[in-house]
Amino acid sequence: MSDNSYTRVTFFSGENVPLEMHKARMVQRIHLISAQERLSVLTQTGNNTFLLPNRDVFLDMLTDSGVNAMSEVQYAAMLMADDSYAGSETFYRLEKTIQDFFGTQFFLPAHQGRACENILASSYVTAETPTVITNYHFTTTKAHILLRGGQVLEAISDAGLSTQSDLPFKGDYDLDKLDALVRGAGGPGKIAFARIEAGTNLIGGQPVSLGNMREVSAYCRKNGLLLVFDASLLADNLYFIKTREEECRRRSLTEIVREIASLMDVIYFSGRKLGCARGGGICTSNRKEYMRMRDLVPLYEGFLTYGGMSVREMEAMAVGIRETLDIHNISQTPLFVEALGQELQAKGVPVVTPFGGLGCHVDASRFIPQVPQEQYPAAALCSAIYLVSGVRGMERGTLSESRNPDGSEHLSNMELVRLAVPKRVFTHSQLKFAADRIGWLHENRDLIGGLAFEDEPRTLRFFLGRLKPIGDWQRRLVEKFVQDMPSGL
Ligand SMILES: *Cc1c(COP(=O)(O)O)cnc(C)c1O
């Protein structure tokens, strides 16, 4: 069946069940420890789900980064890898795959997405051009731009910042905002680059439409702005373009990707997401931009034919990128996110709508309005979810922001707990379990309190920071849980 005629498989009963279009032939045992044990682990790990050891996690929904299930073809390709420092066949296969996929000419390999961001920020963010404009920032992107003395401005549509909506493309740029920001920053001559992030991560994996990409590209070309595309979450975004954008229903995925790429000057991606492997890279057809970045690859990453990746990673990435053109591959995360979202909604849990890619996003501001933003409601909810389910989510709210230069908190636009749904990893019953426990938590939400820092790193504090509960709400929450669920599981 060609992807031009994609139709979603539905149940005769009308029940919305996401159907796996693969079978599992290798599995990993996971463990569900009791709520009392989880409380002790959480206390030892500073209430930070990044610091939890996997052995104490039941469903690891922290991220989709580097944890998507790989295909048998990817594993097979890893055995064929040609290992050499310079000029390996593996690199040429990857380069050719990327050229075919995006239609771009040049490819610079890097060890992961943020390494590409380091190269981009080092090449373009200067004292004369300090400003980057984006639909919405991503944590590592922003950190690299700030590190170079730059600033990040956001031109996301108003809808993008509302957690409840039925607009299909909440990641879209607002063109008027873009123009106002460019003028406010001192004109196009002051802008390092404009950036479009596919599958806009921090607002809930929300897609950008092809129509909007065309408009932003036309604006940038007219005003002489370099346009950079973060394709890390392109797979989900591609599925939404294909299924939500009328004119794309009859177009092939290859055609759509090629058109997207033709609108951009530079494309980069995290291979931990795009291609379900590891690594990353930067692509462009513009020789001048290629030359501007090229020499930083051997400096920071490794020689031009591996860029910090192992040859096995490169082989897996090449196959994974080709598999992105299979609609039944890229549909899996969006369909499972939707199923989890609907389960949660049915239990009254506030979630970000419409459902996006990447994961299901629980809205902590509405779940626990009693916890002020200065007490990190999303982080508090994230810790409470772990206590009652063993599910590891990720805070995406004020804790993930950096403090203002004067030391005050930079309050986030949204307080979200992301429950990532890595591709092909979890079954439907596991998602129902997560929804069941979070439903229990919602009924007992009055018991949840805030968190305070015990140890706060200066940069990207959410990765390694340690926090403690304000008061003894976690102990009381676990007591109530054990009353209702005497097994403690
Ligand atoms: C994960 C991610 C990155 C960074 O990639 P890493 O491989 O984790 O360094 C950049 N942009 C977006 C949108 C991402 O989701």
Given 142, 273, 278, 418, which residue is catalytic? 273
pLDDT 10s digits, 72-89: 999 999 999 999 999 999
Question: Average pLDDT for residues 13-24, to the nearest whole number?
Answer: 93
- The protein residue whose alpha carbon is closest to atom 6 in ligand 1 is 113
Question: What is the rounded distance in angstroms from the CA atom of residue 165 to the CA atom of residue 186?
Answer: 34
Please, which residues bridge with residue 370 across strands?
Answer: none
- Do residues 344 and 362 make contact, with C-beta atoms less than 8 angstroms apart? yes
Share of residues in the chain with pLDDT > 70 (%): 99
Q: Which atom from ligand 1 is nearest to the alpha carbon of 116? A: 9
Give which of 108, 69, 87 is closest to 320, Cα–Cα: 69
Ligand 1 cavity residues, CB under 6 Å: 65, 112-114, 138, 140-141, 197, 201, 230, 232-233, 270, 272-273, 280
Q: What is residue 129's DSSP assignment?
A: S
Q: Set out the domains of the chain in order of their start, with CATH numbers.
A: 18-64+329-484 (3.90.1150.10), 72-325 (3.40.640.10)
pLDDT 10s digits, 149-204: 999 999 999 999 999 999 999 999 999 999 999 999 999 999 999 999 999 999 99
Catalytic residue flag (residue 139) = yes
Q: How far is CA 188 from CA 182, 191, 290, in A?
A: 6, 5, 21
Please report the pLDDT score of residue 162 as a whole number: 94
Q: Which amino acid is at 286?
A: N
User: With 90 as the cut, is the pLDDT of residue 133 above it?
Assistant: yes
Window from 44-53, 190-199, 399-408, 423-432 with minimum mean pLDDT: 399-408
Catalytic residue flag (residue 6) = no
Q: Which two tokens stand for residue 264?
A: 């951009």
Q: Which two tokens stand for residue 421?
A: 């749904």
Residues whose CB falls within 8 Å of the CB of residue 6, separated by 6 or more in sequence, listed in order: 242, 243, 249, 327, 331
Q: How far is CA 114 from CA 137, 143, 238, 271, 446, in A?
A: 13, 9, 22, 11, 39
Give which of 197, 198, 258, 196 is closest to 227, Cα–Cα: 196
Strands 266-270 and 227-230: parallel
- 3-state SS assignment for residue 54: helix
Catalytic residue flag (residue 427) = no
- The protein residue whose alpha carbon is closest to atom 4 in ligand 1 is 113
CA of 274 to the centre of ligand 1 (A): 10
- pLDDT, averaged across the chain: 96
Given 107, 426, 433, 462, which residue is catalytic? 462
pLDDT 10s digits, 285-298: 999 999 999 999 99
Pocket test for ligand 1, best of 272, 282, 317 (most atoms within 8 A of CB): 272
